[in-house]
Amino acid sequence: MSSELTNLAIVKAFFEAVQAGAAQSEMATFYAEDVVQEEFPNAFLPAGARRGLKELQEAAARGRAAMASQTFEILNTVASGNTVVVESNWTGTLAVPISETTPAGSVMRARFAQVFEFADGKIVAQRNYDCFYPW
């Protein structure tokens, strides 16, 4: 299997694990120790964020606690060399309220584009371009 197909398979497994609410220990297996994740400005993070592995795990834990469920519909993928790009629709049901007008049980939607870079079968860089629909 080519490195592009291997990396694409890893990304698809990554999305399945996130969707299933996988434990932090399972999610850590996807990442290199020196991973850098960038989340570009969006409705939740107007200034964006830059995270290493520890901060990425902390953010993921907050996300798991906030969501009752979430699903990804992968719309498009491109794999080239050590890079995989994914465009997806995301739907999430809140486990907790995020405002007076957005109670627990509310459904949120977003369109994501994510760029994953790999080395030795691990994600070493991840860039998220998250576009949330109004809720």
Q: What are phi and psi of 59, to 5 degrees?
A: -65, -40
Residue 60's region, left for phi above 0, alpha for psi from -120 to 50, else beta, is: alpha
Taking only the tens place, the pLDDT of each residue in 25-63 is 899 999 999 999 999 999 989 999 999 999 999 988 898
Taking only the tens place, the pLDDT of each residue in 56-111 is 999 888 988 999 999 999 999 999 999 999 999 999 999 999 988 999 999 999 99
pLDDT of residue 41: 97
Domains and CATH numbers, the chain: 3-132 (3.10.450.50)
